Structure 1
């Protein structure tokens, strides 16, 4: 696990405040690895998910820090979504 993935897991768990997510989502950080989010919170992993969100490390970090709007990143092609768009939108509200 890279440092970026490890810090992403910690930041996502902190943002979610111990709450889980109703579904299985994967954040794919291009060139670094992946983070899975489910009812138990965030963890490093790379498995099949209901929705996969892909972005480079800079975009992902900006989303986590609140500097990058996930919808804006999606509209400009910096964030790609594959799978259940409803879950992607739900995840956005969990993380904001």
Structure 2
């Protein structure tokens, strides 16, 4: 994985995600994305596609950075269609709580 602004932000915020007990994927475009394995009390970026996610959040690169930084309200972004959620909505709600802390 090449270092990009969104990757750096994800890595900085991994400790916030340790209690999610889920696998989450941020899908950026058709082939790009980041998968976070936040099971067993730890959170780590894993090779995209190596684990089936419980929840996938489709988002633009710019909006992903805003979301993780807390500069975008996740519920409003979802309502306005700036992010789309596939899979377990409960995992998406856990993410909202995790990034708010």
Alignment of 1:34 onto 2:23: no
Q: 2:64 — aligned with what?
A: 60
> Which stretch of structure 1 is more off in the superposition, 56-65 or 3-12?
3-12
Q: Can you give the 5+ residue segments of structure 1 that lack an aligned partner in the other structure? A: none
Tell me how far 1:70 sits from its aligned partner: 0.9
Q: 2:97 — aligned with what?
A: 93
Instruction: Give aligned pairs, total.
Output: 94
Judged with a 3 Å threshold, the aligned counterparts in structure 2 of structure 1 residues 63 and 56 are, in CA distance, closer, same or farther, namely: same
Using the size of structure 2 for normalisation, the TM-score is: 0.77
Q: Is contact 1:9–1:42 with CA below 8 Å preserved after alignment?
A: no
Structure 1: distance between partners of 2:2 and 2:81: 24
Q: 1:75 — aligned with what?
A: 79
Runs of 4+ in 1 over 6 A off after TM superposition: none
Using the size of structure 1 for normalisation, the TM-score is: 0.81
